[in-house]
Amino acid sequence: MQAEFLQAESASGSPSLAAALRQRRQRLATLISVPVVLWSGQSPSRNFPANSYPFRASSHFLYFAGLNLPKAAIALQGSHLTLFWDEPTPAEVLWHGPGPTRSQLAEQIGADDARPLADLEQYCAGAATIAVQDSTTRQQQEKLLGRSLVAPKLAQEPDRALVGAIAQVRLCHDDLALAEMRRAAQVTRRAHAAGRAATATATTEAEVRAAMEQVILAADMTPAYSSIVTVHGEVLHNCHYGHRLEPGDLLLADVGAETPLGWAADMTRTWPVSGQFSPTQCDIYDIVQAAHDRCIEAIAPGVEYREIHLLAARVLAEGLVSLGILCGAPEELVEQDAHALFFPHGVGHLLGLDVHDMEDLGDLAGYEPGRTRSDRFGLCYLRLDRPLRPGMVVTVEPGFYQIPALLQDPEKRDRYSALVNWDRLAGFADVRGIRIEDDVLVTATGVEVLTE
Amino acid sequence: MQAEFLQAESASGSPSLAAALRQRRQRLATLISVPVVLWSGQSPSRNFPANSYPFRASSHFLYFAGLNLPKAAIALQGSHLTLFWDEPTPAEVLWHGPGPTRSQLAEQIGADDARPLADLEQYCAGAATIAVQDSTTRQQQEKLLGRSLVAPKLAQEPDRALVGAIAQVRLCHDDLALAEMRRAAQVTRRAHAAGRAATATATTEAEVRAAMEQVILAADMTPAYSSIVTVHGEVLHNCHYGHRLEPGDLLLADVGAETPLGWAADMTRTWPVSGQFSPTQCDIYDIVQAAHDRCIEAIAPGVEYREIHLLAARVLAEGLVSLGILCGAPEELVEQDAHALFFPHGVGHLLGLDVHDMEDLGDLAGYEPGRTRSDRFGLCYLRLDRPLRPGMVVTVEPGFYQIPALLQDPEKRDRYSALVNWDRLAGFADVRGIRIEDDVLVTATGVEVLTE
Ligand SMILES: [Mn+2]
Ligand SMILES: [Mn+2]
């Protein structure tokens, strides 16, 4: 190992890149009047300082600067952009090789000016910003701005205005973003195909994960989040790959690629290890598939995403009634949140530079101004509650899980005692977790499924 | 993506694990009299708080606790171990699944006591510690200890005594460590074989990297550091994979696996993209190989590692003289650091839980007490200057590079004008970078090459 820190990774420069970035900056300028400074951040250390995690610039910086460049910042005065970055010293060039100059980077992204970091301080007076994730850079932000920063979702003025403006600008995607997301989705589809193929001979979850991430790395992309590849899909946040694959298992794979400029895909498939569903697995899979398909059919501009979530809940409830697992009228079951016993998460979320796009802004991006999270068991996990608009990309990811912590919870068993046929459910023990997730672009006339 | 944070990853419990860990704690207890508290740390965020980098516990915690467990701590009073950890709340179990209890983990690692984190404060009075890498946990350390912490290499008492004691304990490896390192090395060898095989059909560096890391991930291991897989081996810290492979290129791959308990391998191979070295590539490769082999032959208990470095330099100088690239007596060339024009790094370093083992302690681990770094161009990068002892694992990684920033440096060209035949060198333009690296265990009688 010789690596010490990552070098500037430059976007593939093109006139259209600079033009697209400039357009983003112009849109922001119409929404905010104070100067803005955004930092890219730097890699956190793993086990010792020189062995850092792979660098990933702040999404807000990436959105307007289009460079995965550590230790950089941009200042926006109106739509006038100044890039701040220190070129490598001769000693750094010795180890990291030659790279683009500051002015080459500036030209590539259509910056109006380019300066060393030492000049940044004079641009910080009265500027709004968003706190980055790494604390080393956050301390620099606080020092230069002369004030302390809080998590963006708690920001006060002037930062709160910036958070609101950015949430608005990033909500609907431009052509540059969509081109990147289509590339991420395409590689992600190939990764899923490779995972499915590898299952035939794999003996552990780790081998399937490896086959999937190989496709992503070979495309010079990176996983957008910690892959979930597990025969225990009922553990929703499962990032371990140690289980052996048994013939009767379902394998749930939630794996997505991210392009070098940071745009994500997010896709889940569930398939039988043996290549063949059992009858019970098939029954439940068909229900989840139906919920997935019906939701995508229902997506269109103006539709409330919350209604998509409730539609998924209703289709799942209908299916479970038809199988005799739930008892009652589907509409009423959903009103009582009975679906959430088996589907205790939201039907999806915004997708963009972040796999949960702009989640660092709390619900300021995902929730229409004035709306807040519901207290209801069946709605409280919903990450997105807005009317859909062309250019939004959302995930659609209904699922069915048998989570012991939920289904064995005495309070839940009591509350839903009349609505669940527990004996009937026991017959479906070989269905621990199923999810089907796609990335859906809302268009003027309907949808484009990026991951299909 | 559903992942929010990583769950306790438990060691494969066995009586021998607990016994081996207890022995490590006993050794530490003989070297330090104050109480010790070590924290495991937590994952830093990537682009938003819930999307974190994969968790990797502090190496010092891992060494004595044997658990890759986030948000945990251990207190050592003599060899008496208390494990501090909060079991997941019911809400966390819902998302992350059931896991071992605190007392199960405690038993697994042979802890004498196990308590919630709230009890940790009362163990902190007068305790020595080592600052972890993530700043969130570092702030908790400072709060509980009631004092500020600096980088371990700058530590004052009582931490300085702990740093010295840990450097001593971790320097020579026990059987548990060696078993882990052999496993890491074995997977690493397979990764290199896969990379070499993939080169036949690959068109980019990224594809070869992907083939190598697939082997590591499939073994449920993780890369120990950012892989270097490049046709520009002369860029020593090259973590980009975007170049196309051309038939005349050499591909340099520096890739190593890390086991779930954190033990690393570090291995470099260089092979021709076409499968066939050119005559000039073959000439230089043979010289690097000779330096590598001679160094490994010379390793034995009592030998100064610095002498291994100088041996590599001499063999390289001899070879370059024989090719007409350097002019003069090899011994004198090395004294004048002429070898460092082409080999500007140390011949290797300690290997263990960290790929540069204990580099967070600065040179306190790598340098024998009383020794400091040389100012010499040909020695200043040496990370290890100690007499070798049985149980040490060191890398041996001589190389040859044509680094423009060095070879075009006017000062260097002037200083070495009479010693380099620049015209002759020009004939070797197709040799940009070669390195051959293996992991070598010093035994009582000689060596065991782990990566061979
Ligand atoms: Mn090395
Ligand atoms: Mn998702």
B244-260 confidence digits (pLDDT tens): 999 999 999 999 999 99
- Two domains, one topology: A2-170 and A175-449: no
Both structure tokens of A343: 């589907």
Q: Measure the CA–CA gap between A266 and B168, rounded to whole angstroms.
A: 47
Mean pLDDT of A421-425: 97
Q: How far is residue A428 from each of residues A230, A250, A323, A383, B98, measured CA to CA in Å?
A: 18, 12, 10, 29, 21
Q: What's the gap in Å between the CA of A265 and the closest CA on chain B?
A: 9
Q: How far apart are alpha carbons A74 and B8 in whole angstroms?
A: 39
B324-335 as b/e: b if 16+ CB within 10 A: ebbebebeebbb
pLDDT at residue B370 greater than cutoff 90? yes
A54, A403, A404: residue with CB nearest B226: A54
Say how far apart CA A440 and CA A145 lie, in whole Å: 39
Q: How confident is the model at residue A270 (pLDDT cuts 50, 70, 90)?
A: very high
Give the residue extent of every domain in chain B.
2-170, 175-449
Res B283 pLDDT > 60: yes
Q: Do B49 and A133 touch (CB under 8 A)?
A: yes
Give the residue-averaged pLDDT of A63-70.
Answer: 97
Q: Quickly tell me which residue has 């419990």 as its tokens.
A: B13
Q: How would you class A307 by CB atoms within 10 Å of its CB: exposed for 0-12, middle for 13-18, buried for 19 or more?
A: middle
Q: Please report which confidence band the pLDDT of residue A260 belongs to, taking 50, 70 and 90 as the band edges.
A: very high
Is B405 near chain A, with CB under 8 Å? yes
Q: How many CA atoms lie within 13 A of B175 on its CB side?
A: 6
Q: Which of B38, B42, B46 is the mutation pick for testing A, counting most A CBs within 10 A?
A: B46
Helix (H, G, I), strand (E, B) or coil at A448: strand
As a whole number of angstroms, the distance between CA A433 and CA A234 comes to 4
Which DSSP category does B381 fall into? T
CA distance B386 to chain A (A): 20
Pick the CATH number of B175-449 from 3.40.50.150, 3.40.50.620, 3.40.1350.10, 3.90.230.10: 3.90.230.10
Over chain B, what is the mean pLDDT? 95
Say how many Å lie between the CA of residue B349 and the centre of ligand 1. 7
Picking from A366, A343, A97, the residue whose alpha carbon sits closest to that of residue B401 is: A97
Cα–Cα distance for residue pair A84/B405, rounded to 1 Å: 24
CA B169/CA B179 separation, integer angstroms: 17
Give me the torsion for CA of B378, B381, B385, B390, rounded to 10°.
Answer: -110
Q: What is the pLDDT of residues B65-123, one digit of tens each?
A: 999 999 999 999 998 999 999 999 988 888 888 899 999 999 999 999 999 999 999 99
B418 touches chain A (CB under 8 A): no
Measured distance CA(B221)–CA(B190) in Å, rounded = 13
Tell whether the model's pLDDT for residue A242 goes beyond 70.
Answer: yes
Is residue A5 scored above 50 in pLDDT? no
Q: pLDDT tens, B311-369?
A: 999 999 999 999 999 999 999 999 999 999 999 999 999 999 999 999 999 999 999 99
pLDDT-based confidence at residue B8 (cuts at 50, 70, 90) = very low
Q: What is the mean pLDDT of residues A82-106?
A: 93
B196-B198-B201 Cα angle (round to 5): 125
Tell me which residue of B229, B224, B215, B190 sits closest to B351, measured CA to CA: B224
- B427, exposed or middle or buried, with CB in 10 Å at 0-12, 13-18, 19+? middle
Per-residue pLDDT reduced to its tens digit, B154-174: 999 999 999 999 999 999 999
Answer whether B133's CB lies under 8 Å from A44's CB: yes
Angle, CA B402 vertex, CA B309 and CA B332 arms, to 5°: 45
> By the CB < 8 Å criterion, does B275 face chain A?
no
Determine the pLDDT at residue B91: 84
Q: Which ligand is nearest to the CA of B268?
A: 1
The answer to whether B44 contacts A53, with C-beta atoms less than 8 Å apart, is: yes
pLDDT of A8 higher than 70: no
Furthest-apart CA atoms within chain A: distance in Å: 74
Helix (H/G/I), strand (E/B), else coil: B77: strand
- Describe the crossing of helices B15-31 and B159-171 by its angle, rounded to 10 degrees: 130
The structure's pTM equals: 0.96
Say how many Å lie between the CA of residue B1 and the centre of ligand 2: 4
Q: What is the CA radius of gyration of chain B?
A: 24
Whether chain B has a CB inside 8 Å of the CB on A360: the answer is yes
pLDDT of A12 higher than 50: no
Fold of the A2-170 domain: Creatine Amidinohydrolase; Chain A, domain 1 (3.40.350)
Helices (DSSP H) in B172-204: which residue ranges?
Answer: 175-199
Q: What pLDDT score does B6 carry? A: 29
CA A328 to chain B, closest CA, distance in angstroms equals 26
d(CA B176, CA A446): 59
Is B84:B37 a contact under the CB 8 Å cutoff? no
Nearest-angstrom CA–CA distance, A63 and A264: 13
Q: What is the pLDDT of residue B94?
A: 85
Percentage of residues in chain B having pLDDT higher than 70: 97
What is the reported pLDDT for A14? 60
Please name the residue that has the structure tokens 């999810």: A435
Chain B interface, mutation test: which of A7, A39, A46, A56, most B Cβ atoms within 10 Å?
A46
- The answer on pLDDT for A90 being more than 90 is no
The pLDDT tens digits of the residues spanning B261-275 come to 999 999 999 999 999
